[in-house]
Amino acid sequence: MRARVISNLCIKGSYYKLTIKPSTSIRAIAGQFLMIRPAAYQAFYEPLLPRPFSIHRLSPDGNLEILYKVVGKGTAILARCGNNDEIDFLGPLGNGFPVRLTKGSSGEILIVAGGIGVAPMLYLTESLRASCPEKRVIVFEGGRETVDLLCVEELKKIATEVILATQDGSTGIKGYVTEALEWYLHKRSSEMQATVYACGPNPMLKRIAEIVYPLNVDTYFSLEATMACGIGLCMGCAVKRKGGGYFLVCKDGPVFRGETIDFDF
């Protein structure tokens, strides 16, 4: 599908927000992603493959927002796209986060975002707020330093509480976001129910899986993998499945129940 760039702005540091208008209207749920290729660079094969990005938000006027961090070739080229440039994309792809939780359960919702993993979590927080208005929603956001904490003000407006962590201690708790989660979980009774939604680097997800293992907690993790196609053709985006075999992140995920993933890859 084709889309036109409405705006593409540096928010801070190496973080950008891209807003595109698709040629036809799109409906998507939080946690779904797009495979993106700027049209102007296609003839050069550099980079060759499209890149996966979470849908950050859908605006009421039908625009799609992507929040991204420049880390290499593909994202550097994306950052160079200007207004009205054309972008080819596939999507929305993947399953997305489940947001209809059992009503009336005492559990709270814990959302954990590491670095650019926050990209799909604002929309997720909004969706959960709408689908489970009676539940407490606690957001844990972590980054290396203050500049790596995005969407904090927006999250504070909708979440019950936002707990921040930075590795250099410049904002919030000093340490990993998983330590903040651990600290929070230890304060409460281990019988208490909770649902954890997490997106971030795989080591972060692995640590969360370890932390919640003895507790009464459901986990939904959005996983990352190198992708070539994003639609189940190449079988390149495999992650190990507990008990043997593999999942394809693009097709079976990107959201998985934490206990189904073997993180020792």
Residue 82 interface partner, choices other proteins, ligand FAD, ligand FES, none, CB cut-off 5-8 Å depending on type: none
String of contacts with other proteins for each residue 192-231, x by CB under 8 A: ---------------------------------xxxxx-x
- Let me know: does 194 contact 102? Beta carbons within 8 Å: no
Question: Which residue is at the shortest CB distance from ligand FAD?
Answer: 72
Min CB(105)–ligand FAD separation in Å: 29
Min CB(72)–other proteins separation in Å: 9
Query: Residues 11 to 70: which contact ligand FAD by CB under 6 A?
Result: 33, 47, 51-54, 67-69
What spatial distance separates the first Cα and last Cα of the chain, rounded to whole Å?
34
**72 in contact with ligand FAD (CB under 6 A):** yes
* Other CB atoms within 10 Å distance of the CB of residue 122: 23
Write the Ramachandran bin of 242: left for phi over 0, alpha for psi from -120 to 50, otherwise beta.
Answer: beta
- As separate numbers, helices (DSSP H) first and strands (DSSP E) second, the chain gives 6, 16
- CA dist 126 and 57 (Å) reads 10
Identify the residue among 225, 228, 231, 238 touching ligand FAD (CB under 6 A).
225
* Other CB atoms within 10 Å distance of the CB of residue 12: 11
Interface contacts to ligand FES, rule CB under 6 A: 227-230, 232-237, 248, 250-251
